[in-house]
């Protein structure tokens, strides 16, 4: 059988192709974070994230109860100061997943569908993650830009 190497796609292949609308890496991982959020078990906010290094996924997470525990959507949230404390947040879950699997997050990038809360933000930094991308803003963080400079974060950016 003869193998033909072509240098241009046939008109028929071009018609079928989705390549002209191919996503950027940032959109690709952010869309995965949005997808991860659909696994959330807390009706108050559905959050998802993906942690990446060298264009490969190291860990993913969404906000949910501890393994084996009841879910917010079936048993209600535990509220403290109007925040649900039943769930482990998406970012912290992803960081914990990496720890369980023995994967370093040093120098990694995190994509979150919602801007990280302060606790997750601190966990992200202490895990060695150096770039943070988020889609929806969450609360006000007046010190965040100063913090980013202080912490040598290479990126703290909103992707819409
Ligand atoms: Zn909840
Ligand atoms: Zn959080």
- Tell me what pLDDT residue 16 has: 75
Q: Is 69 a catalytic residue?
A: no
Beta carbons of 66 and 92 less than 8 angstroms apart: no
Q: pLDDT tens, 12-61? A: 777 777 776 788 999 999 999 999 999 999 999 999 999 999 999 999 99
Q: Which residues contact 108 (CB under 8 A, 6 or more apart)?
A: 51, 52, 53, 58, 127, 128, 129, 130, 131
The phi and psi torsions of 153 (rounded to 5 degrees) equal -65, 130
pLDDT tens digits, residue range 76-118? 999 999 889 999 999 999 999 999 999 999 999 999 999 888 8
Residues 6 or more apart whose Cβ sits within 8 Å of residue 37: 46, 47, 48, 62, 90, 113, 114
Whether the CB-CB separation of 50 and 32 falls below 8 Å is answered with yes
- In angstroms, what is the span from residue 46 Cα to ligand 1's centroid? 9
The structure's pTM equals: 0.83
Ligand 2 centroid from CA 47, angstroms: 9
Higher pLDDT, 131 or 49: 49
Beta-ladder partners of 91: none
Q: Which of 2, 91, 115, 157 is catalytic?
A: 91
């Amino acid at each position: 059988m003869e193998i033909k190497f072509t240098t241009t796609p046939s008109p028929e292949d071009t018609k079928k192709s989705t390549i002209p609308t191919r996503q950027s890496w940032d959109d690709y991982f952010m869309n995965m974070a949005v997808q991860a959020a659909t696994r959330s078990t807390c009706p108050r906010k559905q959050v998802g994230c993906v942690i990446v290094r060298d264009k490969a996924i190291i860990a993913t997470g969404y906000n949910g109860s501890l393994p084996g525990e009841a879910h917010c959507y079936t048993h209600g949230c535990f509220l403290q100061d109007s925040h649900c404390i039943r769930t482990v947040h998406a970012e912290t879950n992803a960081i914990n997943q990496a720890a369980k699997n023995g994967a370093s997050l040093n120098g990694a990038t995190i994509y979150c569908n919602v801007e990280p809360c302060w606790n997750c933000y601190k966990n992200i930094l202490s895990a060695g993650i150096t770039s943070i991308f988020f889609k929806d803003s969450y609360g006000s963080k007046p010190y965040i830009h100063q913090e980013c400079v202080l912490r040598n974060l290479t990126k703290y950016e909103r992707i819409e």
